[in-house]
Amino acid sequence: MRSRILLTLVASILCSRQISLAADWIIVPCVRAGPITRNTSESDLANTFGESQVVASDIDVGEGETQPGTILFPNENAKVLTVFGTDETRTHVAQVRIGAEGTNWKTDKGITIGTPLKVIEQLNGRPVNLAVFG
């Protein structure tokens, strides 16, 4: 009986940890995006978010080029995150990208898609210079 209670407790702790990790939408630049760090593999993503939420794909990077990557939450605009690996093995993260307005993802300073430039300048403490290509 004791071992059954202990097993239930351990499973409960592990499940709650997975839920809390998967609900972390904070991006700390150069450190992490939620529970994702540069050492996170595609397998780790599947363990954290569930296999149905992790899709390996060739990601459009512009100019007709693609790069191997992983899409998290491909069917949920507010959660979608594109993860680029350092190579085709998808064992290390090189870059993450968000692209949908209304996304849950934001930086530790509160910056997200649609944050007004004035707010970004206030956080920066001075004007921001933007470069336009085209």
In a domain, 58, yes or no: yes
Q: Is residue 79 part of a domain?
A: yes
Closest by alpha carbon to 27, among 69, 68, 64, 79? 79
Domain that includes residue 13, residue range? 2-108
Write down the pLDDT at residue 11. 42
Distance (Å, rounded) from C-alpha 112 to C-alpha 63?
25
Looking at the structure of the chain, the number of domains it has is 1
Residue 86 identity (one-letter amino acid): T
Sign of CA dihedral 109, 115, 121, 127: positive
- 39 occurs within a structural domain: yes
CA angle, 24 then 27 then 30, to 5°: 135
What does the pLDDT look like over 46-83, one tens digit per residue? 999 999 999 999 998 889 999 889 999 999 988 998 99
Q: In which band, very low, low, confident or very high, does the pLDDT at 6 lie, cut at 50, 70 and 90? A: very low
